[in-house]
Amino acid sequence: MRREQSPARPGWQQIIESQGLGFHGNVPQGEDGRPYWDESVHYVFDIAQVEDLERAVEELHGMCLDVVDHVVRYRRYSDFRIPQWLHDPIAASWRRRDPHLYGRFDLCYDGRGHAKLLEYNADTPTSLVETSVIQWYWMTDTHPGADQWNSLHEQLVARWRNLHPGRRLHLAHTREDSSGEDELTVAYMADTAAQAGLTVTTLPVEAIGWDTERRRFVDQHHEPIETLFKLYPWEWMTTDGFGTAAVKAQRVTPWVEPLWKMLLSNKALLAVLWELYRDHPNLLPAYLDGPRELTSYIVKPLLGREGASMKIVTPAGTETTPGEYGAEGYVHQELWPLPDFDGWRPVLGAWVVGDEAAGLGIRETRGLITGDTSSFVPHLIQS
């Protein structure tokens, strides 16, 4: 694994915008004035490293499913600070095996040792278009004949075909995202579903209505919503005015992602993984009741996003990031510093579709925490 520099394509901004990445200009420039998409550098992996990462991702995915089964079996919802009224519906969703679509594992990896799980984005992961489309076309333009760990598009199409063959699908994003990233992600997901043969309709989640006579959700045209892909987290959905109705709807037509993924999109997952698979080479020690034996650790809110509301504690001092998360509680995870490549630290976003590893996207930062302005950089597999 190495970091290489290369000249950006002339007019790269117009190129990536024509390929769908229109929101990149809405992301504030990050450290050193870097743009969100930065093709002046890229990472190179050998095939053995990619195969090692694929094995790790699929093993971690299987372990996460074991955690869901464990929590449901032993009713450990309180560790996740999940309200009592959701316990039985989550258990029912899991026992029905309501179908899941995709997720993104954030990993620390230097190309030599074992990849370490930092967290799992299991309900509403983004950076999908950058990974699946933009970096693929960058490779075909700049390194024709090269390879990339990237079968994300094909696997999404195949997964939709298996999940909901021939059905109508609504896909919803939230208007609360001013950057346009969520709307872009939903539009791309709609494209993969359409290629799978589904009839698709996109809309803001705020436009979803409740028909009191028919007792069902409807879109802005009053058409019934049966199958829904929502880029809107369950922990938000279950606290709004229609939360109870949304949960009850899962008994008839489960939405994507399913209700049981509330257990995987919650960072209490990290502590339960460590409890069940202590000393696993791809895990870091993590605890809900405090740092225990850890002397250097990071405190993460259970429902935090984009590196917000975190605290890094080391013998040298404490560093915090701004944010409003944390009322739900925290997990304490061993601090495992990201590797240093020319002063930049990559986080590997390794994707899973269904139960299979599907591709890789990389974000870079100078610090120890990757935030929402950290640059996305492409990668290659060396021949």
**Residue-level pLDDT at 367:** 79
Whether the predicted pLDDT of 194 surpasses 90: yes
Q: What is the pTM of this model?
A: 0.95
Same domain, 304 and 343: no
What is the domain range of residue 327?
285-334
Same domain, 206 and 330: no
Same domain, 204 and 345: yes
Question: Is there a domain that residue 276 lies in?
Answer: no
Same domain, 224 and 316: no
List phi, psi (to 5°) of 349.
-95, 100
Question: Is there a domain that residue 274 lies in?
Answer: no
List for the chain the helix, strand, coil content (%; round to 5): 35, 25, 40
DSSP assignment, residue 295?
A: S
For residues 142 and 140, give the distance between their C-alpha atoms in angstroms, rounded to a whole number.
6
Question: Is there a domain that residue 148 lies in?
Answer: yes
**Residue-level pLDDT at 31:** 66
CB 309 within 8 A of CB 323: yes
Given 314, 334, 354, the domain boundary residue is: 334
Number of structural domains (the chain) is 2
Same domain, 121 and 27: yes
For residues 36 and 59, give the distance between their C-alpha atoms in angstroms, rounded to a whole number.
31
**Residue-level pLDDT at 164:** 78
Same domain, 205 and 73: yes
Dump pLDDT digits (tens) for 47-83.
Answer: 999 999 999 999 999 999 999 999 999 999 999 999 9
Residues with Cβ < 8 Å from 154, sequence gap 6 or more? Answer: none
Dump pLDDT digits (tens) for 247-288.
Answer: 999 999 899 999 999 999 999 999 999 999 999 999 999 999
**Which of the pair, 320 or 332, is modelled with greater confidence?**
332
**Residue-level pLDDT at 30:** 65
Question: Is there a domain that residue 306 lies in?
Answer: yes
Dump pLDDT digits (tens) for 143-170.
Answer: 999 999 999 999 999 999 998 777 899 9
Same domain, 325 and 346: no
Which tokens in the block code for residue 99? Answer: 């179908």
Same domain, 121 and 194: yes
Same domain, 364 and 308: no
Same domain, 93 and 233: yes
For residues 276 and 369, give the distance between their C-alpha atoms in angstroms, rounded to a whole number.
26
Helix H or strand E encompassing 5? strand 2-5
Question: Is there a domain that residue 278 lies in?
Answer: no
Same domain, 185 and 293: no
Question: Is there a domain that residue 279 lies in?
Answer: no
If you average pLDDT over residues 221-232, what whole number do you get? 94
For residues 143 and 149, give the distance between their C-alpha atoms in angstroms, rounded to a whole number.
14
Whether the predicted pLDDT of 34 surpasses 90: no
Question: Is there a domain that residue 273 lies in?
Answer: no
CB 29 within 8 A of CB 35: yes
- Which residues lie across from 300 on neighbouring strands? 331
Question: Is there a domain that residue 277 lies in?
Answer: no
Whether the predicted pLDDT of 368 surpasses 90: no
Same domain, 238 and 311: no
